[in-house]
Structure 1
């Protein structure tokens, strides 16, 4: 999880490659969700 994509999942590998699993979030969701996760 990171602040740009709160609650979103992504795949990683040892080569530091990652790929988002979830569709992009709207700007409002990016503002609201971090507060809900605290």
Structure 2
């Protein structure tokens, strides 16, 4: 039955991906940093 926790909100992880600059290059579809991720999950 998958890894869904009963009562938990479903999240489309493609919608929370972000761009980050790493070594002067823009890398797309990265997960956000810890603080930003926690804020998104609590909203």
Normalised by the size of structure 1, how large is the TM-score? 0.25
| Higher RCO (C-alpha under 8 Å, 6+ residues apart) | 1
Structure whose CA Rg is larger: 2
Normalised by the size of structure 2, how large is the TM-score? 0.23
